[in-house]
Chain A
Amino acid sequence: MTTQAPALAPAAVSRPRTARRARRLPAPALVSAVVLAAVAALTLLAPLISPYGPLEGDLAARLQPIGSPGHLLGTDGQGRDVLTRLLHGARPSLLAGLLPVVFAAAVGIVLGLVAALGHPRVHTLVMRSLDVLYAFPAVLLAIAIAAALGSGISNAIIALAVILVPPVARVTESEAMRIKSADFMAAAQVSGAGRVSIALRQVLPNVAPGVVVYATALVGLSIVYAAGLSYLGLGVSPPTAEWGVMVSEMQQYLFTAPSLLLVPAVAILVVSVAFNVLGDGLRDFFNVRTDAS
């Protein structure tokens, strides 16, 4: 019988430790958060860091390779400093990726709550309308909308927001439907709370973590699409510094200066990976399911 005591003791000790470990963000997610914070800081400090202007070119110093003196990441086809354009380009690139998700989250949450808590007919109307948007291949729809509205960063943001609303609304709706049968909902109804009050005070706080986590995971995708629209000439227009615009500009030097193309490509990849890892980490941390389908 004495052999049991040492076996039990470590288990009792280790339980709180594992519990504490589970409440911490996983290391890759923390690293991603730090990377994103650094990118945000560099973005804000861009005008202070770089000695050149983003549109200021020296045609005598075209296509300098990475590591040239005075041009850490080289110069582009018009002799503009690539590092400067990368830093200045971060702001539109990140905004065009983040804002659609913010707008889509706001609209998607409202639609999802209305669908879940409204009349069954409203539910059918909202969800079937979303099905229509789901029936489009997302990229093609974004391109069509952006083209219809005309090029420009704000129209690209609207186009991306439209294609991101359906998944957010669907996640919100399924979470809210799950909560609907909870005891506290019945308690709120019995105590005479109105529909809006129930939606805002009971349901929203419960669905918010899941939706926020899901939205974080969408940011990486959104940044890739936003830069893609600019790459196609439907988002930010040249000569403004933006990562997608930079990829498109560097493409003509694909065979003469291929390494320069890597700079904006790696920037988009790093930010997109960081958001995806952060999204995964938050999902595990809050232990939410985020299946849109």
Chain B
Amino acid sequence: MTKFLVRRLLLSVPILLGVSLVVFITIKIIPGDPVASMLGPTSTPEAREALTARLGLDQPLPVQYLSWLAAMFQGDLGQSIAQQRPVLGLVADAFVNTLWLTAFSAVLAVVLGLVLGAVAALRRGRVAATVSNALALFSISTPQYTIGLLLIIVLANGTGWFPVSGMYSAIGGGTWGDLLWHLVLPGITAALVPAGIIARMFRSTVLDVMSMDFIDSYRARGLSERRILWHAFHNTTPTLLTVAGLQVGYLLGGVVFVETVFSWPGLGQLVFDSISKRDLAVIQSGVMVAAFAFVLINVVVDLLHSLIDPRVRA
């Protein structure tokens, strides 16, 4: 088990190095002089030169890359130009906010996906299955930015039941209940696409498993339908885990639209805001953290997978 974990972790090292290289190159492509935007239009050439040298931007690109990597290992993600704060704190705060949204949406998505998928598979040919299939199809096809706005119109604008922006109320906020209340609309919005994907995958996996020989043999031995379904479900868990894990990973970095619509102060919004401000250090670190979390989730999924299904460890 430990061997499997170590090997899996070692395998993700080159991937993370590749990720850092892609991030570095992407940032270098961004047009505009970061030094000029830091110092403003009235800066003297001498001041710009001095800052360029201080930031190491006059060094060759490979040297810049390595020193960025080395600094990152020491927990130094640089300084945000726009907010005059260390990037580490900014990104960490935003990441935690995104984690709340992701966790809430992931639970919703898995529950909704399992229900829709199970109904579609086990009530085949009936109205309930058709409705489930249609719902799954719509939820994967719906753009998050429009569904978010529609939820605001329908559930918040008319009724005032749910808050439409932010994480806490300005007055009397800050409690767990307040956070949950603010999570409802963005949570539902973010959960729809993964719910649809999980539902479609779960449906086809259940159908696959239910047509396997061991189900027939259980039936021949007179097991109750409920026991048979339990065995079938057990056999779907590896696939379910993989797909659900992947979706959680996508949620971590993919809730940008939801965060924008609902002004959720998460990682996606931080990166997006930093783009217009040319706050390169924040963009770099934000994307790196999202990719790092994504890779880590994949390792955890593989680990759980190997616990459930020993064949994977070989």
Question: Residues of A with Cβ closer than 8 Å to B?
Answer: 128-129, 131-133, 135-141, 143-145, 147-150, 220, 224, 227-228, 231-234, 244, 247, 251, 254-255, 258, 261-262, 264-265, 268-269, 272-273, 276-277, 280, 293
Contacts and interface: CB of A to CB of B under 8 A. Distances in A.
A139 B18 contact: no
Contact of B295 (A135, A141, A247, A280): A135
Closest 10 CB pairs of A and B: A137-B253, A132-B18, A265-B146, A140-B253, A147-B275, A139-B254, A272-B141, A258-B153, A148-B29, A273-B141
A190 to B, nearest CB: 35
B153 A144 contact: no
Interface stretch (B19-27, B57-65, B111-119): B19-27
Contacts of A138: 250, 253-254
Interface string B292-314: 00110010000000000000000
Nearest to A264: B146
A255 B157 contact: yes
Given A128-B14, A143-B256, A135 B150 contact: no
B252 A137 contact: yes
A228 B268 CA distance: 13
B149 A136 contact: no
Interface of B: 14-16, 18-19, 21-23, 26-27, 29-31, 137-138, 140-146, 149-150, 152-153, 157, 242, 246, 249-250, 252-254, 256-257, 260, 268, 271-272, 275-276, 283, 287, 290-291, 294-295, 298
A148 B149 contact: no
A129 B29 CA distance: 20
Given A143-B256, A224-B143, A265-B149, A136 B287 contact: yes
Nearest to A273: B141
Contacts of B250: 137-139
Given A136-B291, A137-B294, A140-B268, A131 B157 contact: no
B29 A143 contact: no
A145 B145 CA distance: 20
Contacts of B16: 135
A227 B22 contact: no
Contacts of B271: 140, 143-144
Contact of A143 (B138, B150, B272): B272
A136 B146 contact: no
A133 B146 contact: no
Contacts of B287: 136, 140-141, 144
A216 to B, nearest CB: 13
B143 A232 contact: no
B26 A136 contact: no
B140 A140 contact: no
Interface centre among B153, B268, B271, B275 (most CB of A within 10 A): B275
B230 to A, nearest CB: 26
Nearest to B150: A265
Nearest to B200: A280
A135 B291 contact: yes
Given A148-B29, A276-B140, A277-B137, A132 B260 contact: no
B29 to A, nearest CB: 4
A197 B253 CA distance: 42
16 contacts: A128-B15, A135-B15, A137-B294, A139-B253, A140-B268, A144-B275, A145-B26, A147-B275, A148-B30, A150-B31, A231-B257, A232-B256, A255-B157, A269-B138, A273-B138, A276-B140
A132 B253 CA distance: 15
Contacts of A277: 137
